[in-house]
Amino acid sequence: MTLPPVLIRPDYAYEAKRELLEALYAFVEEEASRFDFRCEPGCSSCCTTQLYVTSLEARYLLEDLPPELRQRLLSLSDYPRPATSPNTMALLLMRGKEPPEDEPGEIRPCPLLGSEGLCLVYPRRPLTCRVMFSRVRCSLSGQAEVPPEFLALASLLFQLLEELDAGGVYGHLTDVVRFLEELEKGAPEVPEWLSGNREAPDLAYLPEEDALRQALARLYRRKLPSGRTFKEVLDEIKKGFGPREALSFLDEIL
């Protein structure tokens, strides 16, 4: 199935998108504090090379990434790659189409971990890391135990993050970092293993919908350092980039 092409402009409205990104990260921490998660420093079972990010997150990370850690990232090989972005996947499923399978690669410990299992970029870590929580110690149980309501919220946040990064791309962190570096050199080509970011499509009704609505409404009403709300800045970004749909089921409560 062929989907409409998307415009790639990773530098578009970066400062505004950066403000939203930091607000979204803080929001995740607040929402996670509502649960009795057992994660603690040094617990790194979930910290692997399955590092799927937007170009906004990669650029934010690169702002404070030491050269030796950047080299660790760029030295990776045979790592998993997403076949498509969260919003493209949602769009395909809504149209009754089967999304393509991810490129498996070898899943190994994250290259941004220190010798004691501590994240060396913790303040700048991407959303895929920030939503990794468990009610039990993964080292004891063998797998994470995530409450379904938090998992549902995380899924929506991945879609919202892709939408707010208008003009950006989605893929493995290593690939996105390489792309951004090539872009600075003037290379215009987007590698086939990166996906252009899309707007978030409407979502099917979920049993958790009321809780999700309220959680996302808290995020949308959140005041930012600029004095505006999250939604005001998001609307400004989308208006400047071109016609893009929001998560329409929030409209009635905002």
Compute the distance between CA of residue 79 and CA of residue 68 in angstroms, rounded to an integer.
19
Residue 33 CB partners (closer than 8 Å, separation 6+): none
Compute the distance between CA of residue 73 and CA of residue 112 in angstroms, rounded to an integer.
8
pLDDT digits over 57-77, tens only?
999 999 999 999 999 999 999
Per-domain residue ranges for the chain? 14-243
Alpha helices by DSSP H, the chain: 14-32, 55-62, 67-74, 86-94, 127-130, 138-141, 148-164, 173-184, 209-221, 230-241
Q: What is the 3-state secondary structure (H, E, C) of 52-89?
A: EEEHHHHHHHHCCCCHHHHHHHHCCCCCCECCCCHHHH
pLDDT of residue 253: 36
pLDDT of residue 93: 87
CA 14 to the chain's CA centroid: 16
Averaged pLDDT, 221-226: 96
Rounded to two decimals, the pTM is 0.89
Q: Which amino acid is at 136?
A: V
pLDDT at 43 over 90: no
Compute the distance between CA of residue 222 and CA of residue 141 in angstroms, rounded to an integer.
36
pLDDT digits over 99-129, tens only?
899 999 999 999 999 988 899 999 999 999 9
pLDDT of residue 35: 75
pLDDT of residue 44: 74
Q: Is 117 left (phi over 0), alpha (psi -120 to 50) or beta?
A: left
